[in-house]
Structure 1
Amino acid sequence: MAFKLNFGVAFFLSLWSTVGCDFLVEGVLEMECHDRYLAIALDLSATGANPRFEAVDRFGVHAITEAYAAMCGYSITLLPFLGMVELRASYFSCHIEKVDGLEFKFNLITNYDGEEVFYVLNKTCPPPRRMSSREVTCEVNYMEVSMRSDLSCPSEINSDWTALRPTHSTSTSDWQVIFQRLDEQLPPMNLSQARKKGYTFDLMHDRIVFRTSYEKPESYRVEVSDVPVEVVHATLFSRKSWIVLMVDLIAACSMDEGSYDSGYVLWKTPEALYSSYNRTQISVGLNGELVDKESAITLGFIVETQSTIKIGIPYNTEGGYRKSFVDNGIFEFYMFNLYLKQTSVDEHYEETAVRFQRTLVTPLLPCSLFTEDQTNLKEGMFTIYLGDVPEDVELISVKLNGEEFRVPSDVNVFSIVETIHSNKTHSYTLKVPLHNPIIIQKFSKDAGAMLHILDVNYTLAADPEHKFYYHTVSVTTLIDVSPPSFHAVCNKTGISFQLNHQPSDYLWKFDIGPDRLTPALAAKHGYIMSNNSQSLLLFVPQLAHGFKYTDVSLKGFLGTFEILVKSLNTSQVRASTTKTCPFNSTEMILCSTSGWMTVVVDLSLVVKSNRIVKETSLINELCVPKETDGNRVLFSFPLHSCGSKVELSRGNVIYQNKIYYNSGSANATEGVMVQCAYPLAGLHSLFSTHRFESDKEGVGSIIPSKRPTQDTPRSTEATTRPATTVALQKTKSKNPVLYLSSFYPTARYIKVPSAQRVVANFKKGTK
């Protein structure tokens, strides 16, 4: 059921808003002459909450109070949710000056910073157009009847003639009035008494005018065609001697408050309020503008006339007013100033025109906001569309996974784009990067993917009262888990690896070659490893286990270290981090899985400082260095060539050779033993073929030895010591001394920190 807004309404006093317009006088939005009334609209934001009116005529100033408005033909409708108040003044109102038209004069009193400010409002309207014999106005706060004063009396005897019998008992010739309520006749009263009761009788524009507010003691309610109707029946008479003048004045107005059904605001009035010779003609419209029945139907109105006139106004039609209301939800209501003219002709061909002014308001209707997840994984964004937001509801803030941000905001966490639509709504499109730290990430074991979660809480408010409404939505998306990747950095002594932990890290394992990377493995091979809740840090020293080397020369070499990322469940390699860095080393040795030994020896560490190394070779004098720089030499040769000796010892196969050097004395040479030891169980072939293949790299050693005499065969006996092993790939040489295979597979290196100390240990051990 709809509810009314009138002069005394206070329901929406807290909902005032500003209506923009060019002011005629400060705060006055409109002064317009209509068919039977003058309309003045005020902006409450300029005039204050309680503007007052005064009517001005030649007799003085008259304050328009609520009671005085109904008695004198003024209606004041407060529309705080539109930020305005409207005064309608009837063309038969009390204080009109008739000059060249109908001249209205008002004082507008506003309150500005606690002081009253007066404005003079003057407006002249043209005389009313052709008027019916009887015209009835059903305003929001009064009923008004005007009749031509020259109407002839019908020839029939009036059935109410007996009502005038009390006039025979009075000697006065003053005009009196008798009110009738259904079957009850009330005592007569003179016009002064009637005026004190709030009734107005007047003669204007050659018409007799009667006006009263609703719900007077002398009025009554009846049901006509199931519609509540208020009726006031006044008989005005005057007696002079034996002559009695009588005017029968009846005002009947539909009191239907309206209703709402299926998108229409409905209002009803009986078709036969007054006697009619033929069917009633209907004109209907909004805000004082009338169109005929057919035109109204074309505009979408419902106009039905079957004993009851039924008017249906589409809730979203032009000319209505809409307002949002927030109270544990977003609601809206629509308000319409219905204007209806009902014209009928009685059996004497006298026309009666009834005009209704009704303010109809829908109930509070819930607004359903529309949200849509428009996330596009290729874009890398959570995209959430919030639509069907009423135009007078604004977004104040958003809370993303519990963290609140004002709107608009200059942070880079999210972006919001507002779009205005033609249906008096707007929408907001929220974008948040999927990998923003504010996004919650959880691994879904069922889906085998990372679940990204974003909970959004929109804070909305209806302007301008700012009662908040919270609209929540939660969106999720699954993203395939990518294998993690280490960040690697070269330095002079090794390579540093860093892995920032992700929630999905437990799905993976990290291997160095065939071995699982664990704290125990790191300690065994000399890695420096730390692991906390934030990241995994691993430092691999130069020449440590796991390195592979290329481009070996006396100037340096490239060391490559690889960390494999494998699936924890399947051990399948899913990714790897490989880093290659340049290094330098004074001495080194490699023992490849394909049976090659590559060695760099610094002879200055074993030769006395005053002796110069001139020539070097292996046991086979044809095997000479690939590179020399005076004191350092680089040899690379197959293990089963160049005079190498093979020994079996404690489950190992040891390949030995010597680097002999000439220090300048005749027939005097000294040597450094080099050897590679391989586990016997890991060798696939031995002795029977020159093809060498091993599961693992060998362990190499560089061992300085005593100078042999010319007559003594070159001995391979020497004292060895443990050495650190490292990995190497093939060594390239443009001009090899021997014909060698073009393939140089992975091998293992040994670095000897000081050959002089090895020599000293050797001498000590032979004593």
Structure 2
Amino acid sequence: MAIHFCLGVTLLLSMWATAKCDVPNEAINMECHDRFFVIAVDLAFTGNEPHFEAVDESGVYPITRHRAAQCGYSIGVLPLLGHVELRASYFSCHTENNDDKVFTFNFNLVVANEGKIVSYALSKTCSPSLPWSPREVTCEVNYMEVSVNSEVTCPSETKKEDWNAALKSAYTSATSDWQVMLHGGEEQGMPMNLSEAHKRGYLFDLTDSRLVLRAQYGQPESFSTEVNGVPVEGVHATLFSRQGWVVLMVDLVAACSMHEGSYNDSGYMMWDTPEALHPLMTSQHEAQVKIGVNGELVEEPVAEERGYIVKKQNTIIQISIPYNAEGAIRKSLVSGDLFEFYIFDLYLEQMLFGEDQMDTRLRAHRTLATPLLPRSLFSENRTVPEERVFTVYIGNVPEDVELAAVNLNGQKCNAPFSNESSLTITKVIQPNHNHGYTLKVSMFDPVIRQKFSKEDATMQQTLEINYTLTVLPENEPFYHLASVMAFTDVSPPVFDALCTESGISFKLDHRPFDYLWEITIDSDLLTSELADQHGYIMSNDSNSLLLEVPLLSQGYQYEGFNLKEVIGTFKILIRDPKTSEVQSSSIKTCSFTTTELVVCSTDGRMTVVADLALAIPNGGNPARTNLRDKYCGPKETDGSRALFSFSLNSCGSTVKLGKEYVTYENEIFYSKKLRALKNPADPSNDIDRVMIQCTYPLSGLFRLFSVYKFESDKAGFGRIVHSAHSTEGLLSPTMEPTTVFQTPVYTTRRSRRPVSMRPGYQPPVKYIKVSSFLRNLPKKGAKGQLQIKLNPFISL
């Protein structure tokens, strides 16, 4: 695949109004080589249609395609390198030649700049670093050129018939002007003067010491042949002039291999050229070959290091170059999938040594290209499961390919990537001019597909990746797919718990998969509304859940009641949201000290620690206190407090029914006789009354006033009411009971005396029995009153 595209110019160039300017140094590079001069200009500066003009003393000459081949210029646009390049032979038409040792080049670079035509003057003087060989042959991409020392006039190996025909024509010619006979085609050509030859596309020039012939490929008079299967094209001209009885004749031969190159399965580009391309160039000794790239020959050790191979077989010199060798030009291409091809600008020198001292130096520029080669990218799963992050690397990305977007499980993310979310993409540069990208995304990002397995308690996480990459500069897209999967062991969440002076503090550090479970207090889902209702203090953010549970809040279970401490246990349950089955629990038990408390248990028992300092006279003993039933005394006392624990349906408790609540109430008394003795000046003995209450929601009671036992699915709300001072700040139910509408019902008969008296004695009683439908009571009856049926009292 060639990369040189000859440029044409319009005939109106001479009519354009142009401005002379200087080219910025960073946009242009001019270099002198052994046998040619080269100019490279950045395409970003020239645009898509730059033009060159050759300048000499006689004028300005646009370099058209035809003039370039005839005058020794080769112009090519190399988009892969990003520049336009002009190569000029040292014997090119408009070059100032000083004794074949110093050559001065003058050109105009013409570009369109913002709608205006601008001309830049370019000039360079070069001196070849190598002496000229007797014969020099150049095989450029668009022309052949041969130059010989003008002092050598006798052929050594010219075919006899060619020599005789030229000699006969020279003798019969009546002019002393130089003439030329072209040997090629099926018929022998007739002599012509140099002007006619120039019209046919051949250029002859006589410098200070050399004769030059130049012709473009494909001329009618050129010859084509094969040497051991390698196609060869050449031009053979005999230049002669008759000076009296002396005839001066010079044979000029240029021959070039036209092998297009090939590519083998081992990854080598190959190019063949005959060891001797023409009988006049036949070597009597072994030829020497040097190769290089981009107009620079390299020494043999360097060539071997780069992997270049030169070998001879059946008089054919075969050049093998690794497709990705240094100096190769690479380009990506999308054709359904990603492909690439390599272009190698081969520069070859052959030295042919003849016994007649007519050594020949042949220099050839040839462009070699591979076919389209599949370019495979690879994906590598670099995930470390413990990090809980998918890490995927895509590599072997060519330098002219960029990542434009990624599609994660159907969700597209376009470049540029901000890396502000849980997705990060990092470009990784490789030393071989390739690069790659590392993609990281949390395994618990919402984009990840997750599937939970109860059987083995694992979470399967899947990420399907579709990379969108583009080939520059065309921005042609193609796609690369990758898929990764991970399995994560999961377990129900566990709270850290801490005892405080006022309650228990629970903390849960969030994990991405905690959403698989529900957090409940008993059977109620833990929400901010529930926390407010029960008096909990809860805060929940993206990092953790904090729950402060004050003592005596709903949900506590108590044991070991005494006046010194109370042992409270609070339990948080973790449930399966689909089946409500308990999967785990976080339980914390703490010991608390308190002045007063009321505990209303689910099994129908009220436990009270009450401060009786104002309820008894000075010097009174709290052990002498009792409930409404005087046989129900305290379990434990100290200087001012008493501990009572009794069944709600005993000790003279009264029941007050509301629309949604039922309240059990009792009172702590100090003996009236003792009060009178202690305080005779106060006949009314009106001191502090201590009321104690437990309130239960009707909806949570299973059997209200059961003959055998009390059942409630929730603990009640307790309260101690002191008549002698304000109750502000004392414990009260979170939700106040509704207005009582029934006359208080005493659960014991006052006329009944027990058989014996002992502290803390609680006599057995019979109860009022209320139907179970009370939990779903209608709010109002026919006349707007709540209706309830009570069984009559049952006496002992």
Q: CA deviation at 1:220?
A: 3.0
Q: CA deviation at 1:160?
A: 1.5
CA contact (8 A) 2:7 2:64 kept: no
1:378 to 1:501, Cα distance in 2 relative to 1, 3 A? closer
Q: CA deviation at 1:257?
A: 1.7
Q: 1:160 aligns with which of 159, 162, 167?
A: 162
Question: In structure 2, what is the equivalent of residue 309 of structure 1?
Answer: 317
CA contact (8 A) 1:598 1:634 kept: no
Question: In structure 2, what is the equivalent of residue 88 of structure 1?
Answer: 87
1:446 to 1:281, Cα distance in 2 relative to 1, 3 A? farther
Is residue 289 of structure 2 the alignment partner of residue 282 of structure 1? Answer: yes
The answer to which structure, 1 or 2, has the higher relative contact order (CA under 8 A, 6+ apart) is 1
* Secondary structure of residue in 1 paired with 2:251: strand
Q: CA deviation at 1:479?
A: 1.0
* Secondary structure of residue in 2 paired with 1:664: helix
Provide structure 2 residue ranges, at least 5 long, that are not aligned to the other structure.
9-21, 526-532, 535-546, 652-665, 678-688, 694-711, 719-744, 771-789
* Partner deviation per Cα, 1:346-375 (whole Å, 9 max, x = no partner): 342311111101122323322221211111
Question: In structure 2, what is the equivalent of residue 221 of structure 1?
Answer: 224
Match runs of 1:84-123 below 5 Å = 84-99=83-98, 101-123=102-124
Question: In structure 2, what is the equivalent of residue 426 of structure 1?
Answer: 435
Q: 1:272 aligns with which of 270, 276, 285?
A: 276
Q: CA deviation at 1:440?
A: 1.5
Is residue 214 of structure 2 the alignment partner of residue 211 of structure 1? Answer: yes
Partners in 2 of 1:628 and 1:556 — Cα distance? Answer: 13
Partners in 2 of 1:452 and 1:712 — Cα distance? Answer: 74
Partners in 1 of 2:714 and 2:173 — Cα distance? Answer: 145
1:204 to 1:584, Cα distance in 2 relative to 1, 3 A? farther
CA contact (8 A) 1:705 1:762 kept: no
Partners in 1 of 2:272 and 2:435 — Cα distance? Answer: 35
CA contact (8 A) 2:140 2:365 kept: yes
Partners in 2 of 1:587 and 1:626 — Cα distance? Answer: 15
Partners in 2 of 1:292 and 1:500 — Cα distance? Answer: 68
CA RMSD between the two structures: 5.3
* Partner deviation per Cα, 1:441-479 (whole Å, 9 max, x = no partner): 123578652111112222222333222222221111111
CA contact (8 A) 2:73 2:89 kept: yes
Partners in 2 of 1:503 and 1:698 — Cα distance? Answer: 31
What residue identity is the alignment partner of 2:308?
F
CA contact (8 A) 1:71 1:211 kept: yes
Q: 1:336 aligns with which of 326, 331, 344?
A: 344
Q: 1:457 aligns with which of 463, 466, 470?
A: 466
Match runs of 1:192-207 below 5 Å = 192-207=195-210
Match runs of 1:454-533 below 5 Å = 454-484=463-493
* Range with greater deviation from structure 2 (366-375 or 388-397): 388-397
Partners in 1 of 2:415 and 2:433 — Cα distance? Answer: 24
Q: CA deviation at 1:259?
A: 2.1
Question: In structure 2, what is the equivalent of residue 257 of structure 1?
Answer: 260
Question: In structure 1, what is the equivalent of residue 406 of structure 2?
Answer: 398
1:239 to 1:488, Cα distance in 2 relative to 1, 3 A? same
Partners in 2 of 1:235 and 1:198 — Cα distance? Answer: 16
1:502 to 1:276, Cα distance in 2 relative to 1, 3 A? closer
Q: 1:716 aligns with which of 747, 750, 763?
A: 763
Question: In structure 2, what is the equivalent of residue 5 of structure 1?
Answer: 3
Partners in 2 of 1:705 and 1:373 — Cα distance? Answer: 78
Q: 1:296 aligns with which of 300, 303, 308?
A: 303
Q: CA deviation at 1:569?
A: 13
Partners in 2 of 1:551 and 1:121 — Cα distance? Answer: 105
* Secondary structure of residue in 1 paired with 2:44: helix
Q: CA deviation at 1:337?
A: 2.1
User: How many residue pairs end up in the alignment?
Assistant: 653
Question: In structure 1, what is the equivalent of residue 544 of structure 2?
Answer: none
Question: In structure 1, what is the equivalent of residue 686 of structure 2?
Answer: none
* Partner deviation per Cα, 1:465-524 (whole Å, 9 max, x = no partner): 22222222111111123225699999x999999999999988x899998xx989xxxxxx
Question: In structure 2, what is the equivalent of residue 76 of structure 1?
Answer: 75
CA contact (8 A) 2:622 2:642 kept: no
Is residue 367 of structure 2 the alignment partner of residue 359 of structure 1? Answer: yes
What residue identity is the alignment partner of 2:274?
P
CA contact (8 A) 2:404 2:414 kept: no
* Range with greater deviation from structure 2 (187-196 or 401-410): 401-410
CA contact (8 A) 1:673 1:705 kept: no
Q: CA deviation at 1:298?
A: 4.0
Partners in 1 of 2:377 and 2:350 — Cα distance? Answer: 41
1:509 to 1:5, Cα distance in 2 relative to 1, 3 A? closer
Is residue 134 of structure 2 the alignment partner of residue 133 of structure 1? Answer: yes
CA contact (8 A) 2:274 2:316 kept: yes
Provide structure 1 residue ranges, at least 5 long, that are not aligned to the other structure.
11-22, 519-525, 528-537, 643-656, 675-695, 724-760
Q: CA deviation at 1:553?
A: 6.5
* Range with greater deviation from structure 2 (359-368 or 83-92): 359-368
Match runs of 1:236-251 below 5 Å = 236-240=239-243, 242-251=245-254
TM-score (norm 2): 0.69
CA contact (8 A) 1:617 1:625 kept: no
* Partner deviation per Cα, 1:634-655 (whole Å, 9 max, x = no partner): 23599xxx9xxxxxxxxxxxxx
Q: CA deviation at 1:210?
A: 0.3
Partners in 2 of 1:9 and 1:482 — Cα distance? Answer: 73
Partners in 2 of 1:232 and 1:443 — Cα distance? Answer: 81
Partners in 2 of 1:712 and 1:580 — Cα distance? Answer: 41
CA contact (8 A) 1:566 1:573 kept: yes
What residue identity is the alignment partner of 2:255?
A
Partners in 1 of 2:323 and 2:372 — Cα distance? Answer: 12
Partners in 2 of 1:71 and 1:223 — Cα distance? Answer: 25
* Secondary structure of residue in 2 paired with 1:45: helix
1:720 to 1:123, Cα distance in 2 relative to 1, 3 A? same
CA contact (8 A) 1:73 1:92 kept: yes
1:224 to 1:706, Cα distance in 2 relative to 1, 3 A? same
Partners in 1 of 2:287 and 2:483 — Cα distance? Answer: 58
* Secondary structure of residue in 1 paired with 2:94: coil
* Partner deviation per Cα, 1:373-410 (whole Å, 9 max, x = no partner): 11112112111111112223222222222232423314
* Partner deviation per Cα, 1:399-426 (whole Å, 9 max, x = no partner): 2222324233143121122222211112
* Range with greater deviation from structure 2 (180-189 or 414-423): 180-189
1:589 to 1:87, Cα distance in 2 relative to 1, 3 A? closer
CA contact (8 A) 2:492 2:583 kept: yes
Partners in 1 of 2:288 and 2:6 — Cα distance? Answer: 33
Question: In structure 2, what is the equivalent of residue 18 of structure 1?
Answer: none
Q: CA deviation at 1:326?
A: 3.7
* Partner deviation per Cα, 1:100-135 (whole Å, 9 max, x = no partner): 721111111122111111111111111563222111
Question: In structure 2, what is the equivalent of residue 549 of structure 1?
Answer: 558
* Secondary structure of residue in 1 paired with 2:379: strand
1:168 to 1:432, Cα distance in 2 relative to 1, 3 A? same
Question: In structure 2, what is the equivalent of residue 535 of structure 1?
Answer: none
Partners in 2 of 1:102 and 1:711 — Cα distance? Answer: 140
CA contact (8 A) 1:613 1:664 kept: no
Is residue 177 of structure 2 the alignment partner of residue 180 of structure 1? Answer: no
1:706 to 1:155, Cα distance in 2 relative to 1, 3 A? closer
* Secondary structure of residue in 2 paired with 1:423: coil
